[in-house]
């Protein structure tokens, strides 16, 4: 593949990912990176099949050889939210309602490149994306004259969306990571690698007018309906891969938090004046070749969402805000310890099976189970980001062309899961009942790999 073709593919993938929005799987991380891994439940830490080591384990790249991967995953998340059991409050009516997010299909490109400089050293790059805080509710689910019309929510007569704002309700978060890789063989079967991580993210929010006032936010006017804002930052991933026999491989990797610049347009929404870092994470895996045709891989991944304040701080911190009788202005939206989405850390377990049915065809299947990051106490704010799926089944295959290039496809289904809880509005003295958020997902992707 000519160098200018590789550069063009990198530019295409980067530009497309910067504009794309992925959906939640393991929280808002993908269940796997690269369509080979996605067909195996995401298990890839101890395998070296493609050029996405920058997203999983950079040490593997020296075992991959000269290669280019280019693909696209069509991702379809189905999100819904509802509120029941609210009652009238003085002259204002109840706020029961339900809605389904309109945005249900996203195209997520992927790109990877690797070049052996010599038998012990490889240089490459992986381009991948995260997302999942993406919703697009139509609005108008709560009729005029409801509790949402009370002065505390701005006094607009309505109708309103599920969070008592006006117009459409939702958020859109896209994250792009470009990971150059350096991998080095310490010996024939042992390698280490490092990948500097350049992060780019884009965000917008709509329909949060009920939270956009000086009593709730430290920066009123920078909470909602400000259009897209962008942020950039840096981190690093390091990894190790050991091939102890022809049949057994073990790998591990660690990624620092990617420290991002702040979303200035939303410094009244996210904690610490618009901060939204990409979380620290680490993973470990093993791979076994049971027979020449049959292999099994298993991974464990930990994603520390709770260490990012805007993601992990509980939404109930708003109760400490002076507007609700508290004494800590830093607990307001946008404050140095402001309320967030309340996401907990996630443990993900991934299992994949690969069967080489012939010289031209490899079949794959997998299972991925992750913790649910959202507790019942934080359901209200997570109407915006209902990343509650836990169980994923995957299928995939690779077909080898006569020139030994590869055509890979993968399918994933994440089963329906929901979380219910008492509305956060109850804690403000309003008879708001309870809420439920629900989600399921499907994806289908195709990729092509050139052996150089």
**What is the extent of the structural domain holding 32?**
3-451
**What band does 297 get if pLDDT is binned at 50, 70 and 90?**
very high
pLDDT at 394 over 70: yes
CB 219 within 8 A of CB 268: yes
For CA atoms 10, 274, 375, 252, the dihedral sign is positive
The pLDDT of residue 158: 87
The pLDDT of residue 97: 96
Q: Give the tens place of pLDDT for each residue, 255-287.
A: 999 999 999 999 999 999 999 999 999 999 999
- Three-state secondary-structure class, residue 258: strand
Neighbours of 429 (CB within 10 A): 11
Ranking 143-157, 362-376, 437-451 by mean pLDDT, the lowest is: 143-157
pLDDT at 338 over 90: yes
Q: Give the tens place of pLDDT for each residue, 84-124.
A: 999 999 999 999 999 999 988 888 999 999 999 999 999 99
CB 217 within 8 A of CB 333: yes
Ranking 9-23, 57-71, 326-340, 414-428 by mean pLDDT, the lowest is: 9-23
**What band does 222 get if pLDDT is binned at 50, 70 and 90?**
very high
The pLDDT of residue 393: 98
Query: CA 340, CA 231: separation in Å to the nearest integer?
Result: 18
CB 133 within 8 A of CB 171: yes
The pLDDT of residue 324: 86
**How confident is the model over 148-167, as a mean pLDDT?**
92
pLDDT at 325 over 90: no
pLDDT at 60 over 60: yes
Largest CA distance in the chain: 77
The pLDDT of residue 2: 52
Query: CA 406, CA 287: separation in Å to the nearest integer?
Result: 21
The pLDDT of residue 6: 54
pLDDT at 310 over 90: yes
**How confident is the model over 11-20, as a mean pLDDT?**
51
Query: CA 436, CA 376: separation in Å to the nearest integer?
Result: 9
Mean pLDDT, all residues of the chain: 93
Total structural domains in the chain? 1
The pLDDT of residue 112: 98
pLDDT at 15 over 70: no
CATH number, domain with residue 173: 2.40.160.60
pLDDT at 13 over 70: no
Neighbours of 11 (CB within 10 A): 12
What is the Cα gyration radius of the chain?
A: 23
Beta-bridge mates of residue 151: none
DSSP per-residue codes, 304-343: -GGGSHHHHS-GGGGGGSGGGT-S-GGGSBTSTT-----P
């Amino acid at each position: 593949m000519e160098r200018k073709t590789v550069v063009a593919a990198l530019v295409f993938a980067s530009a497309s990912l910067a504009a794309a929005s992925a959906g939640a799987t393991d929280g808002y991380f993908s269940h796997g990176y690269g369509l080979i891994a996605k067909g195996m439940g995401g298990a890839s830490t101890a395998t070296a099949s493609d050029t996405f080591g920058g997203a999983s384990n950079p040490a593997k790249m020296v075992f991959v050889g000269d290669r280019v991967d280019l693909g696209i995953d069509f991702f379809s998340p189905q999100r819904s939210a509802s509120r029941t059991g609210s009652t009238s409050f003085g002259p204002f009516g109840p706020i029961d309602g339900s809605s389904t997010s309109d945005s249900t299909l996203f195209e997520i490109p992927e790109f990877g490149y690797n070049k052996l400089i010599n038998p012990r050293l490889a240089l490459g790059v992986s381009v991948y994306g995260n997302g999942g805080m993406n919703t697009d509710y139509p609005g108008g689910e709560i009729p005029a004259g409801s509790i949402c019309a009370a002065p505390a929510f701005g006094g607009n007569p309505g109708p309103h969306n599920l969070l008592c704002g006006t117009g459409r309700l939702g958020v859109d978060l896209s994250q792009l990571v470009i990971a150059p890789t350096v991998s080095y063989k310490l010996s024939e079967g042992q390698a280490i690698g490092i990948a500097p991580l350049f992060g780019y993210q884009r965000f917008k929010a709509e329909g949060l007018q009920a939270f956009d006032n000086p009593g709730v936010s430290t920066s009123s006017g920078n909470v909602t309906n400000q259009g897209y804002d962008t942020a950039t930052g840096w981190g690093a991933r390091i990894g190790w891969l050991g091939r102890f026999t022809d049949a057994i491989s073990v790998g591990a990797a660690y990624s620092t938090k990617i420290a991002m610049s702040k979303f200035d347009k939303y410094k009244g929404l996210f904690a610490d004046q618009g901060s939204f870092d990409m979380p620290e994470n680490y993973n470990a895996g093993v791979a076994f070749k049971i027979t020449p045709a049959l292999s099994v891989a298993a991974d464990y991944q930990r994603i520390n969402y709770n260490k990012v304040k805007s993601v992990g701080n509980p939404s109930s911190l708003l109760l400490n805000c002076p507007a609700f009788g508290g004494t800590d202005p830093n607990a307001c939206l946008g404050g140095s310890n402001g309320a967030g989405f309340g996401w907990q850390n996630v443990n993900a377990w991934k299992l994949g099976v690969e069967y080489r049915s012939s010289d031209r065809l490899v079949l794959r299947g997998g299972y991925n189970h992750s913790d649910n990051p959202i507790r019942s106490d934080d359901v209200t704010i997570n109407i915006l980001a209902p990343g509650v799926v836990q169980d994923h089944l995957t299928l995939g295959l690779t077909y080898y062309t006569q020139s030994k290039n590869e055509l890979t496809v993968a399918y994933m289904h994440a089963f329906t899961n929901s979380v219910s809880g008492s509305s956060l509005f109850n804690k403000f003295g309003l008879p708001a009942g309870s809420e439920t958020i629900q989600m399921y997902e499907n994806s289908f992707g195709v990729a092509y790999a050139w052996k150089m």
